Amino acid sequence: MKKTLIGFAVAVLLAAGTLTATAATSNKTTTSGSCYNGATWTLTLTRSGSKVAAAFTIAGMPKQIWNINWAWTPTNRVYNQQVKPDSKGRFTVKDSTTSSAPVTAFVLVDEPWAYTQTCIAGATI
């Protein structure tokens, strides 16, 4: 089941735009890519013991309200928030979870009124 979920997530990420990853250290990993609309994003996960913190930064988004949907595995934490980019189309959102096991964070950005998926990001630490 885990392999299927991870394989699906990678396929979705590749379909959503470009995806690159840097080499993970024992406590930090960064993944970056681009959205359907050309905006660029970076997802950074940082581990301190069993706490995993995530920061998702995006640039080049239209200045409107966006839904940010977080999903974590294996902790099954789901979190939603809304954000409006600054005057340059940038924003950063943060979330966290707790697990001693390897953790994957997925971030989906969509329009609140249309639920059109604009960006999909994921990283594992």
Number of domains in the chain: 1
Confidence of residue 14 (pLDDT cuts 50, 70, 90): very low
pLDDT at 42 over 50: yes
Q: Tell me the mean pLDDT in the region 40-69.
A: 95
Q: Domain of 100?
A: 2-124
Q: Identify the CATH number of the domain in which residue 113 sits.
A: 2.60.40.10
pLDDT of residue 114: 78
Q: What is the pTM of this model?
A: 0.78
Return the CA Rg of the chain: 14
Token pair belonging to 38: 């050309």
CA separation, residue 93 to residues 1, 52, 58, 85 (Å): 29, 14, 9, 11
pLDDT at 5 over 70: no
